[in-house]
Amino acid sequence: MEEYLLDLISRMSIEENFKNSDDSVSWNAHREAEALTDARCIDQLMHYISVEKRKKHRDSAYFVLGKMLANIARPDAVQFLINRLLMETDKYVIMGMLGRLQDIDKDSSIDILPIIACTKSDKCQIRHSAISALAKTKHETAKEVIRTMIQLEDQKKHKYEIIYAVAVLGTIGEKEDVALLKPLFSSRIRDVKGSAEFAVERLEGQKNRDS
């Protein structure tokens, strides 16, 4: 299995210029990676990432690990992936990791502080990806970070932070958050207004299902 993973990661890491994705070795390898279900790969991937020096190959391994953790419960591996955010420096690698974390359940045993640290990055792409990565968790700390962003006064300056935060709150928020979101209905920024209306619709729908 280890030789297979090495080959898969190598194919995923090939840099190509194909207009038709069907002809791309890397694109097809990524689709192959998405179909992996063997839980034994998780430990092999964590070891590989810990020793691999090539950034592109680590990025590919993070992709595989993240896709697997979206379907296989391994809190220790989720924590490993989150902790690696503190060790990577390339913004595109970090954005990819955060993108995977968006789809992974993060229960109360998981330390999400490295994700929250990324929400304060001076790079907007990392900030936005980190906000989205706070989805699929019920951590009160995450909710407070999201609620603070929603209430940022300069909506024009912080438009995207607010939109991403509203989207996440619509999935992890409580019924009390509806009151926090409704003032955004009067926003002059159409996307802020629309995202708030959609989030409230989701929260109220959840409230009705729970009652």
- Evaluate whether 105 touches 133 at the Cβ level (below 8 Å): no
Q: Are residues 81 and 31 in the same domain?
A: yes
Identify whether 126 is part of a domain.
no
When pLDDT is averaged across residues 117-129 and rounded to a whole number, the result is 96
Q: What is the pLDDT of residue 89?
A: 96
- Over residues 146-180, the pLDDT tens digits come to 999 999 989 999 999 999 999 999 999 988 899 99
How many domains is the chain partitioned into structurally? 2
Mean pLDDT of the chain: 93
pLDDT band per the 50, 70, 90 thresholds, residue 209: low
Length of the chain: 211
Q: Are residues 2 and 99 in the same domain?
A: yes
Q: Are residues 54 and 13 in the same domain?
A: yes
Q: What are residue 106's DSSP bridge partners? A: 137
Residue 207: pLDDT above 70? no
Residue 85: pLDDT above 80? yes
Q: What is the pLDDT of residue 208?
A: 57
Identify whether 40 is part of a domain.
yes
Closest by CA to 68, choosing from 114, 34, 23, is 34
Identify whether 116 is part of a domain.
no
Q: What are residue 137's DSSP bridge partners? A: 106
Q: What is the CATH number of the domain that holds 35?
A: 1.25.10.10
Instruction: Of 37-51, 108-122, 193-207, give the lowest mean pLDDT range.
Output: 193-207
Q: Are residues 103 and 23 in the same domain?
A: yes
Identify whether 119 is part of a domain.
no
Q: Are residues 103 and 171 in the same domain?
A: no
Identify whether 162 is part of a domain.
yes
Q: What is the pLDDT of residue 13?
A: 95
What domain range is 90 assigned to?
A: 1-108
**Cα separation values, 162 from 51, 109, 125, 149, Å:** 38, 27, 14, 6
- Evaluate whether 203 touches 173 at the Cβ level (below 8 Å): yes
Q: What is the pLDDT of residue 18?
A: 67
- Over residues 127-154, the pLDDT tens digits come to 999 999 999 998 999 999 999 999 998 9
Q: Are residues 50 and 153 in the same domain?
A: no
